[in-house]
Every structure is written in structure tokens, then in C-alpha cells.
Copies of this chain bind each other. A is one copy, B any other.
Amino acid sequence: MDTQNADIVDGVLQKIERTRQARRHKFYLRDEKVTLSHGSGGKATHNLIEGVFAPAFSNPLLDAMDDAATFHVDGQRLAFTTDTYVVSPLFFPGGDIGKLAVHGTINDLAMAGAEPLYLSAGFLLEEGFPIAELKRIVASMAEAAREAGVAIVTGDTKVVQRGKADGVFINTAGVGCVRASWLLGQTQLQPGDKVLLSGPIGDHGIAIMLARENLEIETDVESDTAPLHTLVAALLDAVGEGVHCLKDPTRGGVATALNEMALGSEVAIALDEHAVPVHAGVRGACEILGLDPLTIANEGKLLAIVAPERAETALSVLRNHSLGREASLIGTVQADPAGMVLLRTDIGGMRVLDMLVGDPLPRIC
């Protein structure tokens, strides 16, 4: 780690250390075997992270627990992130595993305030997988990368025996150049900050569920998968240091993302349920299936936590971008009760909104 990096890291070390303590207190791994819930992105995933990965790998960059790590290399601040994609089915309304693998990693870089530059692609193939389908997936990845202006520059292919994988899994890692000169992230929320959401939630998760289960629910719900880096660039250009945290509510949905932030910054977040946009098709499917749209995954939406005096500007910037037309102000950060998310419900009550518990919908991304 170079000196400049060490300086920056030092500034948030104390907060990160307190967060670590809080997380250890909150998350406790009891399981003896891996369950599907450990891949949900919600509470069980955090239990696994805190019980296995975090103590073993602990270092200041990892401990920040943001979607991407940022560090300096010879004076240049970079962002670095990875995700493995295991979505089932491989093709679904609005996208496919290839598109998702490109967009998801671009978005994790963008949430760190970085301009996505280069991606890696690691393919894990099951023996017998049709080459024609692989070509379709690869063409879709290539198109997604081209459209987003990033290059896939390094890769790897492994094959395992029939029955030892499920068609194709894809890992992408990404490197970006951090353009924000200030610290962005889930330790940076301040009481008074406003919570903005870039558009309606739940489309991706519900599209996957309907595609997978062949449920006889007639909707036109499509995945919202999209690269958010140009939306982020517009926001950072206009609002600058007024942007305190960006997060794309993927696995675990908005509920989990906001809980992570509340915990990371030791603040509370009060959310207005009626202000959260949800497409009618998603709302209907959720009602039939007994799901909460706030815990459903999105692949083309972001949460932006902004200083109150910049909230209006931020909202109008989002709404002026094609990927943020339905953006809205959905809540406020407050000091207490630290580490919690409170939901003002449509019917006027107030309840605690927890992270996703269990996994209603495995292999969503």
C-alpha cells in the first residue's frame, strides 16, 4: 500500500473498525453447511462473510465492505471489483447471463465513483454445453461491453464434467479509475442526507422468477439490467462532494442495501414506502407470491445518498438521464436508532425494515 493510500485509509479506519465490531455483533454464523441463503446477498450472506471471509482476509480495504475496493497505485486511485454470475435461466426477458456479467461489474465500479475501464471474464463451462449457446452469450457480453465503452482484456476458461456445474457460470472482475476526489461509500452517510432511488424496483428479480417458474402470471415484466456508469458520471459532475454514497440494490434489494449503509455509517434511515416506485406488474406478482419488492433484486437501479442541500439538483440530474427518468426521493438519514432502517408504511405505520432473510429466489444473478 503506498503512502497516499494509507493516508486516505487512515481517515476512515476508526469508523471501519467500529463497523466491524457492530457487524460481528449482528452477524453470527451458526450453520455447519452452506445453504442457498448464504448466496442470497441478505443476512445469511453477511453471516457467512463475517464468520468465514472477513476475519481471514481482514485488511482495511476489504473491511470497508463496499461493492468495489479502491486504492492508490503510484498516485492514481483505482477501483477493483468482482462478481460471479450463476443466474438461472441463462436467458430471460430483458437480458441474459452475459449482459448481466458485464453490467453488474460496471455498476460495482460506478458505485465507487469510478469510470469503468477494463473487465476480465472467467468462464466456467459444463461439459456438453452447446457451443451455439455459448456464442450467443459471448456475443451479448461483447455487445454490452461495446455499448458501455469498456474492453474485456483478459480471460480464462475452465470446463468441469457433466453434472458438476450448470451450463455456464461467468465471473467478471473490473478495474476502473476513481474520478471522485472525495470518499464515497457506505461509511459516509450523514444525518440529514437524502435517499434517492433512480427508478422502479423489483423488475429484475421478478422477471427471473417468472421466467424460471413458468408461473401463470401474465405480465410484461423485463429485467432492468443496464450499465449505470453514465448516470453516475452525470450525478458526480453535477453534485460533486454532495454525493456521499452510491449503491446498486442487487441481491437482497433496496432493504438490504439500505441496512448495509445504516450499519456502515452508524446511522438510521427512514424510508417512505409510498415514495418507492414499483411497476404495476412487479407489484402484482409480488402480491400473488407474497414477496416484498424492497427485498427483490435490481440490476439497473441505484441508491444515491446525497447532502440535503443538493438533493433537488441530484434528483433532477437523475430524471434527465434515460436510466433515471422515474427517480424519486424515498427517505432521509437520521442519527437514531443507529444501524437500523425504518419504514413508514403506505398505511401510515412505522416498522423496522430488515435485510433480506432467507432466499425466496436463489440464483438471481
Binding site for B on A (CB under 8 A): 1, 29, 31-39, 45, 48-49, 51-53, 56-57, 59, 61-62, 68-69, 71, 73-76, 78, 80-86, 117-118, 120-132, 134-135, 138-139, 141-142, 145, 151-161, 163-166, 169, 171, 173, 175, 177, 362-363
Selected contact of A159 from candidates B29, B59, B158, B362, CB within 8 Å: B362
Instruction: Check if A118 sits within 8 Å of B171, measured CB to CB.
Output: no
Residues of B within 8 Å of A362, CB to CB, are 159-161
Instruction: Check if B142 sits within 8 Å of A57, measured CB to CB.
Output: yes
CA distance A20 to B138 in the complex (A): 19
Copies in the complex: 2
CA distance A86 to B157 in the complex (A): 10
Known interface pairs A53-B138, A61-B153; A86-B132 also in contact (CB < 8 Å): no
Instruction: Check if A53 sits within 8 Å of B127, measured CB to CB.
Output: no
Instruction: Check if A82 sits within 8 Å of B34, measured CB to CB.
Output: no
Residues of B within 8 Å of A38, CB to CB, are 125, 157, 159
Instruction: Check if A154 sits within 8 Å of B35, measured CB to CB.
Output: no
CA distance A45 to B123 in the complex (A): 12
Minimum Cβ distance to chain B for residue A347 (Å): 36
Residue of B whose beta carbon sits closest to that of A140: B56
Instruction: Check if A175 sits within 8 Å of B78, measured CB to CB.
Output: yes
Residue of B whose beta carbon sits closest to that of A82: B120
CA distance A363 to B125 in the complex (A): 12
Instruction: Check if B34 sits within 8 Å of A171, measured CB to CB.
Output: no
Residue of B whose beta carbon sits closest to that of A108: B154
Instruction: Check if B171 sits within 8 Å of A132, measured CB to CB.
Output: no
Can you identify 12 A-B contacts, CB atoms within 8 angstroms? A1-B151, A33-B129, A33-B131, A34-B130, A35-B127, A53-B157, A57-B155, A59-B153, A69-B153, A80-B118, A124-B124, A161-B362
Minimum Cβ distance to chain B for residue A79 (Å): 9
Residues of B within 8 Å of A129, CB to CB, are 33-34
Instruction: Check if A78 sits within 8 Å of B73, measured CB to CB.
Output: yes
Known interface pairs A83-B122, A121-B57; A35-B73 also in contact (CB < 8 Å): no
Known interface pairs A154-B68, A155-B57, A165-B165; A171-B31 also in contact (CB < 8 Å): no
Known interface pairs A117-B73, A166-B165; A124-B36 also in contact (CB < 8 Å): no
CA distance A317 to B124 in the complex (A): 38
Known interface pairs A59-B151, A145-B57; A86-B160 also in contact (CB < 8 Å): yes
CA distance A163 to B162 in the complex (A): 10
Instruction: Check if B120 sits within 8 Å of A173, measured CB to CB.
Output: yes
CA distance A311 to B154 in the complex (A): 30
Residues of B within 8 Å of A139, CB to CB, are 56
Selected contact of A158 from candidates B29, B39, B56, B163, CB within 8 Å: B39
Residues of B within 8 Å of A127, CB to CB, are 33-36
CA distance A56 to B59 in the complex (A): 37
Residues of B within 8 Å of A53, CB to CB, are 121, 123, 138, 155, 157
CA distance A8 to B81 in the complex (A): 26
Known interface pairs A76-B73, A125-B39, A171-B122; A62-B29 also in contact (CB < 8 Å): no
